[in-house]
Homo-oligomer: A and B are copies of this chain.
Amino acid sequence: MGLVVQKFGGTSVANVEKIKNVAQKAIREKEAGNDVIVVLSAMAGETNRLIDLAQSAAENPDEREYDSLISTGEQVTISLLSIVLNAMGYRARSFLGFQVKILTDKAYKKARISMIDTDVIAHELKKGSIVVVAGFQGVDEENNITTLGRGGSDTSAVALAAALNAERCDIFTDVDGVYTTDPNICSRARRLDRVSYDEMLEMAMTGAKVLQPRSVEMAKKYDVPVYVKSTFSDEGGTLVTKEDAEMEREVLSGVTYDRDQAKITVVHIPDKPGIAATLFTPLSERNISVDMIIQNVSLQGYTDLTFTVSKKDMKEAQKIVEATAREIGAKKVEVDDDVAKVSVIGVGMISHPGVAAKMFKTLADEGINIQMISTSEIKISCVIQRKYTELAVMVLHDAFHLERKS
């Protein structure tokens, strides 16, 4: 007898038939004696349709208006689910960001939740309602509608679970859990029963699309157990939770890849203090996020600096960096989007030395050249040529025996 938050993505609410299936899942939880909050995304494809409309109205749509436009998709699905639930004899009420209210900062298109008022929802739950909340949206202090960025509904769900002290947060999606790698690439991929917040975060940051990274951060911060489950099957599921002894026994929990990468190299820069700041400040001012950064040791007063950005930002980043390069007297700027990032992740690597060496050797044995390396305590990422992505994923998965539990 507790509170359960269920979140369903776009493919789970793609039409009225599928919304009726979602209603069944909510009812099952309710009949089991739990209070239920359902968080929904827009119908699959709807947010993209709205983005296309905005883009056809203006090249750079006003951000306040853009957010108000693209937040309508969730309003449609939450109303429809509530209509279905009421028709099935269950009291249900939908709530938009302003009705809850879900307060955010003013950063349109990528707002952060600052506060959730729990009164209205708590009141409805007490009345026995199934509460249906629009994902992806909030309002700022002046009642302007804001959105939380791609995959923001995951964050809405975890934030509501945290604010209302839910027993757990179920993220329903079109796959039945988190895998050791993409099963479409590697048939020996294995579903993980459990994965730690930190590993999940690294996986999400390095290419796994199953959860929005910010939702994982929030789940960790407030210690919300998150279950990743399939909407279309009752089997399987992965629990994202605190680290435990079992997880540490495993060397690695997954191999991820990200083909949305472009590499930019600034060649032969006069090595003076402040070079990196001079290069990267204009990029961050244009909201271009830089992923990996590598600066070689200076040779005879000159250095090279390489970094990666998202493919869609490459052209703009190149223009900005070329201007800066001229100013600071660098020789030239080279760009390359024929790259991909492959990463191995696992809390176990802290206590199992030699993971990096094994990774590099495995790639070398296949003749795959490593162009850039970046590491964290529980992750090693390598940038390689794009065409080797699938091969690299498969040989790494095999080399670390991820197909079997250790």
Interface residues of A (CB under 8 A from B): 16, 19-20, 50, 53-54, 56-62, 64-66, 68-69, 71-72, 75-76, 78-80, 82-84, 86-87, 92-94, 96, 98-99, 143-145
Contacts and interface: CB of A to CB of B under 8 A. Distances in A.
Contact of A62 (B56, B87, B145): B87
Contact of A60 (B65, B76, B87, B96): B87
Contacts of A69: 75-76, 79-80, 83
A87 B58 contact: yes
A157 to B, nearest CB: 20
Contacts of A68: 75, 78-79, 94, 96
Nearest to A61: B83
Contacts of A19: 57
A69 B94 CA distance: 10
Given A62-B82, A79-B68, A57 B87 contact: yes
Q: How would you classify the secondary structure of chain A's contact residues: helix, strand, loop or mixed?
A: helix
Given A79-B65, A98-B98, A98-B143, A86 B58 contact: yes
B65 A82 contact: yes
Nearest to A85: B62
A143 B54 CA distance: 28
B16 A57 contact: yes
Given A57-B83, A57-B87, 12 more contacts: A53-B76, A54-B79, A58-B83, A59-B87, A61-B86, A61-B87, A65-B93, A68-B79, A69-B83, A71-B75, A72-B72, A98-B98
Q: How many copies of the chain does the oligomer comprise?
A: 2
Q: Which of A65, A75, A78, A93 has the most CB of B within 10 A?
A: A65
Nearest to A79: B69
15 contacts: A50-B76, A53-B76, A53-B80, A54-B83, A58-B86, A59-B87, A61-B86, A62-B86, A62-B87, A65-B79, A68-B78, A68-B79, A75-B75, A96-B145, A98-B143
Given A68-B94, A69-B75, A94-B65, A84 B99 contact: no
Contacts of A62: 82-83, 86-87, 92
A92 B66 CA distance: 13
Contacts of A92: 62, 65
A93 B64 contact: yes
A184 to B, nearest CB: 33
Contact of A80 (B16, B57, B87, B145): B57
A50 B43 CA distance: 13
A295 to B, nearest CB: 40
A57 B85 CA distance: 9
Contacts of A99: 143-144
A99 B140 CA distance: 12
Contacts of A54: 79-80, 83
A316 to B, nearest CB: 19
- A-B pairs, 9 with minimum CB distance: A58-B87, A69-B79, A62-B86, A65-B82, A72-B72, A57-B83, A61-B83, A65-B79, A68-B79
Contacts of A93: 64-65
A325 to B, nearest CB: 32
A49 to B, nearest CB: 10
A82 B75 CA distance: 20
Given A60-B87, A86-B58, A72 B76 contact: yes
A156 B120 CA distance: 28
Contacts of A80: 53-54, 57, 65, 69
A12 to B, nearest CB: 15
